[in-house]
Each structure stands twice: as structure tokens, then as C-alpha cells.
Amino acid sequence: MVCGAYIMKTIPIAKPFLGKEELEAVKRVMKSGILAHGPEVEAFEKEFAEYIGVKYAVAVANGTAALDLALKAIGVKEGDEVITTPFTFIATANAILFQRAKPVFADIDPKTYNLDQNEVLEKITNKTKAIIVVHLYGQPADMKAFKEIAEDHKLYLIEDSAQAHGAEFMGQKTGSFGDVAIFSFYPTKNMTTGEGGMVTTNNKEIADRVKLLRNHGQSEKYLHVELGWNLRMTSIAAAIGRAQLRKLDKFNEIRRRNAELLTRRLSRIRGITPPYVDPRVKHVFHQYVVRIEDDFPLSRDELQKLLREKGIGTAIHYPRPIFQQPLYKRLGYKQDICPNAIDASKRVLSLPVHPLVEPSDIEYIINSIQEIISLA
Ligand SMILES: *Cc1c(COP(=O)(O)O)cnc(C)c1O
């Protein structure tokens, strides 16, 4: 829409927040000449472990690699079952397939969109080896319940914390509850390194195995004790990550403020349900996700289209549960399991909440929604 005096506002659904500190950090690495693994990566690992409150953090190339190596490190293998949520990014479940193990999907809690512990209990068999809990949209899952289940049934507990950097459950940071946890530093996440990932754990054996596997199974120079990959993080990524980590709490506070503003205004609009926040958690709003109910005058997809025309970026996390992905359909997964996940996939809509969204943007978003309703 171009008409001289009128410039359309655009509010993207995600945007990395980078400043002069990140630029200085990159310059520092370039001047040092150490571009791949080195002291910068080790410093990032140490600082990240301290921030999360764990003994070990191992930096890797991306969050998907972190999941793959975490599962490999705890020994998930062919014939094992791993229970997880179907309402997450595909990487969570694919990491299980990469071990030739079987992803078993349990349904979600329709209020939080996180795994429902009772559904998980029903899926446990004598082949179950582990549970991967995802802290979806930045809201911690019920880690008290999942720790108990894992202990009672002698299962490994893995946290996919790719969307929950700095989130807390009962005052404790996600990424410190499970036997092992993973983070992603993709540009849309709460902090970024471009591409990047981290494995966190209090278990030295697991940390050592991830270090070995990310680096060609090499225990000492040119001595390869097992089959590994090159999934190391670069020093440039680590330097950006160190600068971002120092800003993470600030970023999260802005996300939380934005979420509060959105919820305050949206709760008066019929047919839109703002996110439910478990009183025991610190939610870091990787995504701000509303649910479009039947009494809203438009469909979710119509609303998304009209918002796009007003320059407001939204997204659907996620448009289908993982078992309905063509890959999983081909693997023989039933298409009508986990009704709560199926229902959520038809109703959720993510609105911009990232730290570059300003209160005036939120006013614009709310006014736009009201205008769209009045014309419906
Ligand atoms: C982003 C994400 C991943 C994968 O991380 P990448 O760094 O993109 O490989 C895994 N799980 C969840 C829940 C994610 O959101």
C-alpha cells in the first residue's frame, strides 16, 4: 500500500536484538584469529552453566544437534521408546528418530500447551527409556510432577529448553531439572548466536560424552574412540552468545512486560483467550500465544490474514501436531491421537512479544484487532 503520506507500520513476529556489545565481541574474535573452538567457547560454556545453575554446559552447533547428542549421550538406541509432546518444533521428535528409537506422543494440557503428566503416565511401557519435556513458548512444564514420574519409573528426564532461556519453575531455572537439557540460540529465540545450541547437565559422564561426540569422538589429538561428528560451536557464535547472555534477563523482562500489556487489553475481547500462566513459574514468553475460540467472529486464519494486511506479523506454533507431519504419517502414526494437540493446532495464534516490540506497537495491535472485529 503506497500512497505518499501513509507509511504502513510493520511489526515482525520475531527479530533478534543485537547491539554494539555483540559487534565488539565479533571484532575481538576476528582480531584473536581463533575462529573455531577456543577460549571464547569455553568462557561461554562456563558463564551459561553458572547462569542456569548447573555444573556443565557444552556448546554445540545448534539446538537440534544438542538434542541429538543429549539422547546419544544417555544411550537412547534402537528398540527404546521416548515419550514426548506432539505439539512442539519437529526437532524434538526427530532427535528420537535419529537414534532409531520410537517417539511416543502423549497429549498436552489445553491450558498451558505443555505435556500433561497423566497422559505421559499412560504411555509408559517396559520399553520406555526417557521423557523429553518441552517448556513450550517459554513456560516451564510441571517439573515437580515430571521429576517424580522419572524417578518412580527409572526413566531419563530430558528438558527441551530451546524456548525457555531464563525461565523458572518454583524459583529454579529450566535446564537444571533433568538428567540433561538443551537450549537453542537460533535468531528467533530469547537469546541468539546466529546458529547455536547448548547441552546442560550436572552429570560429568553425560557432559564428557557430549564433548566427545561433538568432536569426532576424539579423546585426544587424532585418537578417535568412537563415531562422532563435527558439531562444534564457532568462537564468533560464542562471543555473540556471551554478550547476549548478559542482556538476557533484561530481554525477558521486556517480553514479560509486553505479555502483561497484551493480556490486560485482550482479556476484554470476547473469543480470544490470552495465555494461562502457571502461578509456580516465571514465564519468559518466547511466544505470546492466544487461543481463538468458537465465539470469535472470524476464523483464526482470517484474523491472521487481516493482521498481516495491517503490517502485524503473527505465526502459528504449530499448525499441525508432529504425528500429522507427512514424515510421521508415513511412519504409520495414527492421525487422531492427542485431541488436545489437534485442537490447539487449529486455534493458536502467536502475536509479537519480542523485546523490540514497544508499548505503542501493542496499542496498534489491540486497535487493529478491535477494528477487524468491528468490520467482521
Ligand atoms: C528451536 C527449537 C529446537 C531446535 O533448535 P535449532 O537451534 O533450531 O536446531 C528444538 N526444540 C524446540 C522446542 C525449538 O523451539
What integer pLDDT is reported at residue 252 of this predicted model?
98
State pLDDT tens for residues 270-314: 999 999 999 999 999 999 999 999 999 999 999 999 999 999 999
Q: Which residues contact 79 (CB under 8 A, 6 or more apart)?
A: 101, 127
Task: Tell me how far apart the alpha carbons of residues 312 and 344 are, in angstroms, rounded to a whole number.
Answer: 22
pLDDT given at position 8:
76
**Cβ(312)–Cβ(352) under 8 Å?**
yes
Q: Which residues contact 279 (CB under 8 A, 6 or more apart)?
A: none
Per-residue pLDDT band for 5 (boundaries 50, 70, 90) equals: low
* Rg, Å, the chain Cα set: 21
**CATH code for the structural domain at 20-243:** 3.40.640.10
Query: For residue 184, what are the β-bridge partners?
Result: 197
Ligand 1 midpoint to CA 95 (Å):
11
- Structure confidence by residue, pLDDT tens digits, 198-215: 999 999 999 999 999 999
Taking the CA of residue 91 as reference, the ligand 1 atom at the shortest distance is 10
d(CA 224, CA 227): 8
Torsion angles phi and psi, residue 180, rounded to 5:
-155, 150
Question: What integer pLDDT is reported at residue 9 of this predicted model?
Answer: 84
Tell me the CATH number of domain 248-375, given options 2.40.110.10, 3.90.1150.10, 2.60.120.260, 2.40.30.10: 3.90.1150.10
How far is residue 258 from each of residues 193, 251, 262, 286, measured CA to CA in Å? 23, 11, 6, 11
Pocket test for ligand 1, best of 82, 89, 182 (most atoms within 8 A of CB): 89
Other Cβ atoms closer than 10 A to 22:
20
- The Å distance, Cα 4 to ligand 1 centre, comes to 42
Provide the edge-to-edge strand list for the sheet that holds 81-84: 56-60, 197-201, 180-184, 156-160, 128-134, 81-84, 102-105
Domains 20-243 and 248-375 share a fold: no
**Of ligand 1's atoms, which has the minimum distance to the CA of residue 163?**
15
- How many CA atoms are closer than 13 Å to the CA of 268, on its beta-carbon side? 8
Percent of the chain with pLDDT over 70: 98
Say if ligand 1 is within 6 A of residue 252 CB.
no
Alpha helices in 117-234 (DSSP H): 117-123, 143-152, 204-214
Ligand 1 centroid–CA 89 distance in Å is: 6
Query: What pTM was computed for the model?
Result: 0.97
Percent of the chain whose pLDDT exceeds 90: 97
Output the pLDDT for position 216.
Answer: 97
Tell me the pLDDT band of 71, cut-offs 50, 70 and 90.
Answer: very high
Residue nearest to atom 14 of ligand 1 (CA): 162
Hey, CA dihedral for 88, 92, 98, 102, is it positive or negative?
Answer: negative
For residue 347, what are the contacts with CB-CB under 8 A and spacing of at least 6? 291, 292, 293, 300
Residue 295 CA to ligand 1 centre (angstroms): 33
Q: Is the peptide bond before 186 cis (omega within 30 degrees of 0)?
A: no
pLDDT of 3 strictly over 90: no
Cβ–ligand 1 contact at 183 (below 6 Å): no
Ordered by start, the domain boundaries in the chain are 20-243, 248-375
Q: Is the CB of 64 under 6 A from ligand 1?
A: yes
Spacing, Cα 160 to ligand 1 middle (Å): 8
**229 is written with which cell numbers?**
561428528
